[in-house]
DNA sequence: CATCCTGATATGTCCTAACAAGCGGACATA
DNA sequence: TATGTCCGCTTGTTAGGACATATCAGGATG
């Protein structure tokens, strides 16, 4: 099974070679050039074909294995794994997710305040007594239909946040523009039933199922930047992810 | 900040050197030898100190960065990221999760069958017409309290599954013993409210919130081994995970 | 005919070596 | 004093080679 892999490597590009290979193989898998289950040429031949060293080729394949697109077996070879694998759950905002899918998200800011943090917020964000935070509640709609009710607390010593900015942009986008480099987030997903406050806002009956998500995000300096409590209509939203065994 | 890092590398061990380094640094972070926020020595010095090459050292640090324990910045250095980071969501079973936490899970097998797969199951597991599968429903309790209602379909051409085995062991444990090497799983988490069938089994009122999880697991040969639909009592269970920016 | 051994193949691990590029402080200059 | 440039430090990328080890097929052996 000679692979029809037809990659072009641009050595003058600022994009690292191994990353160009990753993108090339990813594209080949998605457009069907590399069928699920098919075997790739061995690492050494592939590297030779692209005029790359074996370590570079391996680094590219490592990433694809980690992403769950390829499977390697010692002594046997490397093959394309089956099926519609979604990318691993990423550190992105709902706004970006929706926008990239072609939907038109809108945001209503139900409340907005810049005030001293209470005890539980200080604990969640690891702030000293007396520190102040932004606190706001937003309602996210898609095509006029309410989808999520989101309450967030954000530390105020990084970048300024305004109510008008929140109306047109996602929170993560605003923070990134303000120089925040997110590194990781802890989140917890659960379920509740809609109460009298949530139900009318989400235009769903009291007692309807809602997905809950609590998240605290940390930037590259180790600061906890943001914590939030979101609820989503269960009939419109769920969390999809791919788990990879390492 | 000279690191007190005191690792011992055993070159005669079958454990790869880079993995020994990963374990050593992981342990140092967890026992406090490496404090959150502290800077590590640079790669070259660290490698020299352990008599390793820089690529080996880097491979170890790569893994720790991916796991969210370390943060690297070009031109600056590498530091330990803030504290209570849970390990990324893993491909494990509820049974193992509970057992490793010291709880005593019990399993009731509500139904068990070995029969021809219907169309939707064949699609989920990518099976040909006429193939047969195991189909079973289990109720998982912890300390006598019901927690999860789990319905699964498993292909039957890999290993034998018996009702009695399911009563004492987790499904993933059984499959792994049967030679299955899981590689990845796609899962979706959402919410529903308990219906008349689920409520009495889970000893919760009709209309209570439940967390739902649908999962399909793939082994290292690309076969879809197992698909299932689980519901959990929302007041007793939620999914916790750490997302890492790459 | 069944079993064991062996060799070819492919990935896994580890090394040395070199240059590129971002960051930040030191230093020189206006 | 303020500012801009330069240089050293550290991580990022790439190369090329060597040996280890799991797997599988085919041949030798009982």
| Per-residue pLDDT at A2 | 43
d(CA A231, CA A237): 10
Q: Within 7 A of a protein CB, which nucleotides of strand D?
A: 8-18, 21-24
pLDDT of the residue at B139: 97
What single DSSP character describes residue B159? Answer: -
Residues of chain A with CATH 1.10.10.10: 17-80
Specify the CATH number of the domain B17-80: 1.10.10.10
Q: Is the CB of A14 under 7 A from strand D?
A: no
Q: State which residues between 36 and 75 of chain A bring their CB within 7 Å of strand D.
A: 51-56, 59, 73-75
- ipTM score here? 0.75
Mean pLDDT of A202-224: 90
pLDDT band (50, 70, 90) for residue A153 = very high
The torsion of the CA quartet A89, A93, A99, A105, rounded to 10 degrees, works out to 130
Q: What is the pLDDT of residue B2?
A: 42
Distance B206 CA to C2 C1' (A): 63
Per-residue confidence (pLDDT) for residue A1, from 0 to 100: 45
Return the higher-pLDDT residue of A65 and A90.
A65
> In chain A, where does the domain assigned CATH 3.40.1410.10 lie?
94-233
Give the length of chain A.
246
Token pair for A143? 């095509």
Please check whether residue B122 is in contact with residue B131, taking contact to mean a CB–CB distance below 8 angstroms. yes
Going through B156-198 in order, the beta strands assigned E by DSSP cover 182-193
DSSP letters for chain B: ----------TTSSS-HHHHHHHHHHHHHHTTSS-TTPBPPPHHHHHHHTT--HHHHHHHHHHHHHTTSEEEETTTEEEEPPS-PPPPP-S--HHHHHHHTT--EEEEEEEEEEEE--HHHHHHHT--TT-EEEEEEEEEEETTEEEEEEEEEEESSS----HHHHHHS-HHHHHHHTT--EEEEEEEEEEEE--TTHHHHHTS-TT-EEEEEEEEEEETTS-EEEEEEEEEETTT--EEEEEE--
Where is mean pLDDT largest: A175-189, A225-239, B8-22? A225-239
- CA separation for the pair A46, B114 (Å, rounded): 45
Q: Are A174 and A161 in contact (CB under 8 A)?
A: yes
3-class secondary structure, B108: strand
Query: Do the Cβ atoms of B239 and A190 come within 8 Å?
Result: yes
Instruction: Evaluate whether B56 touches B49 at the Cβ level (below 8 Å).
Output: no
A2 touches strand C (CB under 7 A): no
CATH superfamily of B94-233: Chorismate lyase-like (3.40.1410.10)
> Residue ranges of chain B with pLDDT lower than 70?
1-5, 82-92, 245-246
**What are the tens digits of pLDDT across the range A24-61?**
998 888 888 888 878 888 899 889 889 999 999 999 99
Give mean pLDDT, residues A7-13: 83
Section A124-141 average pLDDT = 92
Give the integer Cα–Cα distance in Å for B176 and B184: 14
Give me the pLDDT at residue B177, please: 80
């Amino acid at each position: 099974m000679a692979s029809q892999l037809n990659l072009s490597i641009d050595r003058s590009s600022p994009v690292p070679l191994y990353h160009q290979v990753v993108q090339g193989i990813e594209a080949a898998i998605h457009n069907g050039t590399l069928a699920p289950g098919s075997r790739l040429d061995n690492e050494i031949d592939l590297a030779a074909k692209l005029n790359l060293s074996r370590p570079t080729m391996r680094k590219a394949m490592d990433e694809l294995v980690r992403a769950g697109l390829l499977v390697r077996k010692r002594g046997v070879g490397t093959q394309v794994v089956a099926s519609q694998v979604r990318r691993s759950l990423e550190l992105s905002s709902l706004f970006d997710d929706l926008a990239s899918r072609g939907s038109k998200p809108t945001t209503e800011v139900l409340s907005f305040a810049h005030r001293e943090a209470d005890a539980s917020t200080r604990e969640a964000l690891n702030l000293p007594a007396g520190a102040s935070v932004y606190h706001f509640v937003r309602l996210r709609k898609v095509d006029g239909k309410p989808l999520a009710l989101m309450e967030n607390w954000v530390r105020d010593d990084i970048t300024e946040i305004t109510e008008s900015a929140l109306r047109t942009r996602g929170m993560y986008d605003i923070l990134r523009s303000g120089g925040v480099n997110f590194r990781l987030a802890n989140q917890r997903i659960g379920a509740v039933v809609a109460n009298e406050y949530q139900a009318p806002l989400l235009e769903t009956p009291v007692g309807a199922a809602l997905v809950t998500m609590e998240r605290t995000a940390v930037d590259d300096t180790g600061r906890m930047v943001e914590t939030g409590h979101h609820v989503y209509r269960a009939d419109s939203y769920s969390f999809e992810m791919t788990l990879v065994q390492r």
